[in-house]
Amino acid sequence: MVTVNLAQAKAHLSELLDKVEAGEEVVITRRGRAVAHILPTTPTKKPLRLKELAEFRAAMPSLRRPSAELLRELRDEGL
């Protein structure tokens, strides 16, 4: 974990973000007290592969009428 004061953080923000991207944590202090803790983000979910998506869509039941009609009907019924 890297600890820097606010002035250092302002002067070296790009370098600190590079460290965070590499997996390190950064703590920013003001007058000796921690005020911010910067962590790397959690990885995003991977998109479905096209073949899996096509299989999923094929398994979905077909609608007898347009979905816009169904949504209007549900809205009007108060659901």
At which residue do the structure tokens 């007058």 appear? Answer: 31
Q: Give 70's Cβ-side CA count (13 Å radius).
A: 6
Please give the DSSP secondary-structure letter assigned to residue 32: T
Domain of 22 in residue numbering reads as 2-38
Residue 12 lies in a domain: yes
Question: Does any domain span residue 17?
Answer: yes
Which residues are CB-contacts of 75 (< 8 A; sequence separation ≥ 6)?
none
Pairing label, strands 2-5, 33-38? unpaired
Q: Per the structure, how many domains does the chain have?
A: 1
pTM (two decimals): 0.53
pLDDT in tens, 17-71: 999 999 999 999 999 999 999 999 887 677 778 998 899 889 988 878 888 998 9
pLDDT at 44: 67
Q: Provide the β-strand partners of residue 29.
A: 5, 34
What's the mean pLDDT in 11-15? 96
pLDDT in the model for residue 79:
65
